[in-house]
Structure 1
Amino acid sequence: MKTVSIVTVNFNQPQVTEDLLKSLQEVNTYRDLEIIVVDNGSRIDPVPAWDAKYPDIKFIRSEKNTGFAGGNNIGIAQATGDFLFLINNDTEVTPDLIGKLVAKLEANPRIGMISPKINYFDTPEILQYTGYTPMNYLTARNAVIGQFEEDRGQYDSLSGETGYAHGAAMMIRREALQKAGLMAENYFLYYEELDWCERIRKAGYEIHVDLSALIYHKESVSVGKRTALKEYFMNRNRILFIRKNAPGGTFFFFCCYFLATVAPRNIFKYIKNKEYSFIPVFLKAITWHLTHKADSDDLGFPLTR
């Protein structure tokens, strides 16, 4: 049996993380597991209490918030499994989830990464993810297939290759990880898993979804409150993703599209909604690219705990 390293990241949500650990210990039926929890600079360090409560789980404390990619990369560096399953701490597993994903990876060596079907935890009959459409590099747009629809099995036939894995639950083959490298930490938040999928493909692997495997995600169906941090990283990283992954000519046309269409639309929206403070944040997200290289680790935005 292949060993699976579970990697999850906690940030100021100790009870949510403990619910996941309970799910892995009591619901999951795949037993050859290594569980790694990274505390990503939470205000109160939960690791000493967790070490005493869960002696069979590996806990790692980062003194600063290193973002989604950085937190997962810390855990990956300590993982020893044949496969690594990165899951959000606000998920809960189903009994045969891990076993099904392992079986798909073992059966098809071309698969570098695979995600399960994701449904919303609070409304378990509603889909969140059954795959992604490919990216349009001229507009930096793609779509989540099935999101917000009732799960009637209507997309189950789409199991197989997909546009991108979902960051809430993605299992990667160790060999693919070794060839593609870790997630790029300078995204910090948003687009990092899409960028990772691109590099896994360039390393010669496929990205798949297995819709017979299911995980529940506690993310709300309703759209969360927009913040300056979200506005900054969503816009900065949308540009960064195309800058890193599209040919130079395509990136030029994307920039023309973004400046002619997206920028005026967003600024008009901020004014209409009286969100005037978002305007300088949005402009800062754009101008970051005029002063920084694509691999710069200067995020250009102040972070708080």
Structure 2
Amino acid sequence: MKRVSIVTVNFNQQKITEDLLRSLTEVNTYPDLEIIVVDNGSKENFVPEWQIRYPAVKFIRSELNTGFAGGNNIGLKKATGEYYFLINNDTEVTPDLIERLVRTLDENPEIGVVSPKIHYFDQPGILQYAGYTQMNYYTARNSCIGQFEEDNGQYDSLTGPTGYAHGAAMMLSREAVGKAGLMGENYFLYYEELDWCERIRKAGYEIHVNMQALIYHKESVSVGKKSTLKEFFMNRNRILFIRKNTSFAKFSIFCIYFLLLVVPRNLISYIKNRETKFIPFFFKAITWHFSNSVDSKNLGYPVKF
């Protein structure tokens, strides 16, 4: 039996993280787990209290908010398992979830990453994720399969290769991470798992979804359904992903598409919906690329938010 290191990141959400810990200890049936919780610069340090309440869990406190990638990387560096299971703290597991994902990796060593089917926590039976389509590198668009649909098993046959894993829940082999490296921390939030999947694929591994494994996700608890933070990083990182993962020719075509279609569309949407506060953050996301390389550690947004 392979040891699985669970890595999750907390940011100002004590109860949400405790709900996940309860789920992992009371609902999960897979026995050989190492649970690592990274507190990612929360205003209040919950770690001393947690260490008393959950002595079997490994807690790591970061004084700085290092983002989704940075927080998970902190945990991965301390993980000892043969498999790593990165899950959002706003998820709750089903009993055989981990066992099914482990079996997938055990039986298919060519797989580097596998994600489960994801349902919305507040709407059990409604799909959030049943895999991703491949990326269109000219438009930086792809689709999340099945999202918002009632799950009647219509996508269960998709178990197997998929475009990308889902950042809310993805199990990886230690070997694949060793070859591909950790997540790119300069994404900070959004697109980092897509970029990671690209590097894992280039390292010779496949990306899969297991539609027989299920997890529940309380989407957007951390960031909110819409915020200046989300608008900035979604747009900045969309461009960054294409810059890092395509040829100059494809990136040039993407820039024309973004300038002629995305910019006017977004501006019209902001004005129509009376969300003009997002406009400066949208342009800031674009102009960041004029003065920063793809590996720049300058996030362009204050990390204390």
TM-score range relative to shorter protein: over 0.9
1:38 aligns with 2:14: no
TM superposition shift of 1:283: 1.1
Deviations for 1:50-106, whole angstroms, at most 9, x for unmatched residues?
111111110000001100000000000000000000000111111110011001101
Render the CA deviation track for 1:111-161: whole Å, top value 9, x for unaligned. Answer: 000000000111111011010000000000000000101110110000000
Counterpart of 2:114 in structure 1 is: 114
Task: Say if 1:220 and 1:39 are closer, same or farther in 2 by CA, change over 3 A.
Answer: closer
State the alpha-carbon separation in 1 of the partners of residues 290 and 93 from structure 2: 43
**Deviation of 1:265 (Å):** 1.2
1:50 and 2:26 aligned: no
Which residue number in structure 1 is paired with residue 79 of structure 2? 79
For the 8 Å contact 1:120–1:220, the answer to whether it is kept is no
CA displacement, residues 180-203 of structure 1 (integer Å, 9 cap, x when unaligned): 000000011110000000000000
CA distance in 1, matches of 2:60, 2:108: 33
Aligned residue identity for 2:23: S
Does the alignment pair 1:288 with 2:275? no
Matching residue of 1:89: 89
CA distance in 2, matches of 1:251, 1:55: 49
TM-score (norm 2): 0.97
Cα distance in 1 for partners of 2:220, 2:66 equals 24
Given that residues 146 and 155 in structure 2 are in contact (C-alpha distance below 8 angstroms), is that contact kept between their aligned partners in structure 1?
yes
**Structure 1, 268-277 or 13-22: larger mean CA deviation:** 268-277
Percentage of identical aligned residues: 72
Pair 1:220–1:252, CA change in 2 (3 A): closer
Using the alignment, how far apart are the partners of 1:69 and 1:76 within structure 2? 10
Give secondary structure in 2 for the equivalent of 1:140. Answer: coil
SS in 2 for 1:179: helix
1:169 counterpart residue number: 169
Partner of 2:134: 134
The residue that corresponds to 2:123 in the other structure is: 123
Query: How many Å apart are 1:248 and its aligned residue?
Result: 1.0
Q: Which residue of 2 aligns with 1:214?
A: 214
Taking the aligned partners of 2:80 and 2:226, their CA distance within structure 1 comes to: 38
CA distance in 2, matches of 1:276, 1:123: 31
Matching of residue 237 in structure 1 with residue 237 in structure 2: yes
What SS is found at the alignment partner of 2:69?
Answer: helix
Q: Which deviates the most, 295-304 or 112-121? A: 295-304
Further displaced range: 233-242 or 267-276: 267-276
Q: What is the rounded CA distance, in whole Å, between the counterparts of 1:89 and 1:284 in structure 2? A: 29
Q: 1:272, CA displacement in angstroms?
A: 2.3
Distance in 2, matches of 1:100 and 1:271, equals: 47
In structure 1, what residue type is equivalent to 2:153?
G
| Cα offset, 1:273, TM superposition | 2.5
TM-score by length of 1: 0.97
Q: CA deviation at 1:224?
A: 5.1
Note closer, same or farther for the CA distance 1:105–1:225 as it changes in structure 2 (3 Å cut).
Answer: closer
Report the counterpart of residue 12 of structure 2 in structure 1: 12
Distance 2:35 2:117 in 1: 21
How many residues align? The count is 304
Residue by residue over 1:29-56, the C-alpha shift from the partner in whole angstroms, topping out at 9 and shown as x without a partner, is: 1101100000000110000001111111
Partner SS for 1:254: helix
Structure 1 SS opposite 2:283: helix
- Cα distance in 2 for partners of 1:270, 1:303 equals 24
Matched, 1:199 2:199: yes
Unaligned stretches of 5+ residues in structure 2? none
The alignment partner of 2:81 has SS state of: coil
C-alpha contact 1:130 1:155 (8 A) present in aligned 2: yes
Query: Using the alignment, how far apart are the partners of 2:104 and 2:278 within structure 1?
Result: 44
Q: Is residue 66–residue 303 contact of structure 2 (8 Å, CA) maintained in 1? A: no
Task: Tell me, in whole angstroms, the C-alpha distance in 2 between the residues paired with 1:66 and 1:269.
Answer: 31
Give the SS at the match of 1:274.
Answer: coil
Q: Does 1:104 align with 2:108?
A: no
Distance apart, 1:275 and its partner CA = 2.5
Alpha-carbon distance between aligned partners in 2 of 1:12 and 1:281, rounded to the nearest angstrom: 24
State whether residues 70 and 185 of structure 1, in contact with CA within 8 Å, keep that contact through their aligned partners in structure 2: yes
SS across alignment from 1:116: strand
